[in-house]
A = this chain, B = another copy of it.
Amino acid sequence: MIPSETTVAIVGSGLIGRAWAITFARAGCKVRLFDPDPAVPEQAVAFVGSVADDLAANDLLHGSTPAETLSRLSCHAAIEDALDGAAWVQECGPEVIAVKRETFARLDAIAAPETILASSSSALLPSAISEGLTGRSRCLVAHPINPPYLVPAVELVPAPWTAAEVMARGEALLRAIGQTPLVMAREIDGFIMNRLQGALLEEAFRLVAGGYASPEDVDAGIAEGLALRWSFMGPFETIDLNAPGGVADYVSRYQGLYSGLFEGMKQRVDWAGPVLETVLKSRRDRLPEERLAERQLWRDRRLMALSAHKKRADEDVGR
């Protein structure tokens, strides 16, 4: 799938949909925006216009100009129009199973037979979304971390009946637009990233609930500690480089330590219990609630700067 010859339909053009629009359009795809609320696609285009210069300044438009990126977007009031000629549909509706099923039934009825139907769902399994559809073999989940134009990883998750050829085309398209597809062999709740995040968060809440550490010390232990290496290697390469003989040596030296820790990790912590007051106080002392939106913009600017840094470091130091 060559991006400049590929048309993508965004079905649901809110927060996630508009971010996908940037991600596809900067790489050269034609992007057709639809939303049940006909005002939303125009708002999405306005949003793209508002961030395009910043993205260009951080070398995040993949060589496209802001004007070229915007010129590839079109708004459509009818879903049939949005799907016209689309090789890929990126569905970005609410995370409600009944809504997803209804949307996918409609997409399956309208879309040309070779069109791939991808859901951005983070919490619903592709089997639950596409079960019973005539075209269920062309359905999958393509779950981004928002916003995908700043975070490359996208989980590609098949239902048991998703065709291997569909997964292969999805992987090729995502790579062609510069994302990093994680191609799952089969579905599981939480996919890859929310499972890893959930395991880490559970232990973070436990340390605070047990009175061992403050929320800010946990954050510092990640942001000034573990995540520095993880941000360019991931956990397996990290441990592979942390024992003289590599990962097998690491497991033989340290599994005993981790196995001992695991005994204390089997009991769930109620995140909404007393620990939440501690976490909430720590966060609101540092950031009043009315400044959350401003801080989200800060986060996105830091992500832009980090992305530009990683690109430079890939070239200067190697990847």
Give every chain B residue within 8 A of A180 (Cβ-Cβ).
220, 224-225
Question: How many Å lie between the Cα of A201 and that of B226 in the bound state?
Answer: 12
Q: Are A235 and B218 in contact (CB under 8 A)?
A: yes
Residues A158-203 near B (CB distance < 8 A): 180, 182-186, 188-190, 192-203
Q: Assuming A184-B217, A295-B241, A309-B309, is B246 touching A198 (CB within 8 A)?
A: no
Return A270 CB to nearest CB of chain B, in Å. 8
A313 beta carbon closer than 8 Å to chain B: yes
Closest to A293 in B: B244
For residue A210, CB closer than 8 A to chain B, the reply is: yes
The answer, among B220, B240, B282, B309, for a CB contact under 8 Å with A306, is: B309
| CB < 8 Å neighbour of A202 from B228, B244, B258 | B258
B318 lies within 8 A of A313 (CB): no
The 22 sampled A-B contact pairs (Cβ below 8 Å) are A185-B214, A189-B257, A190-B261, A192-B212, A195-B265, A196-B218, A197-B226, A198-B203, A198-B257, A200-B200, A201-B258, A202-B265, A219-B235, A227-B230, A227-B231, A231-B231, A240-B292, A246-B284, A246-B292, A248-B276, A305-B312, A306-B309
- Sorted nearest first, the 10 A-B pairs with minimum C-beta distance are A219-B234, A153-B225, A227-B230, A199-B203, A231-B231, A309-B309, A182-B217, A180-B224, A223-B234, A198-B258
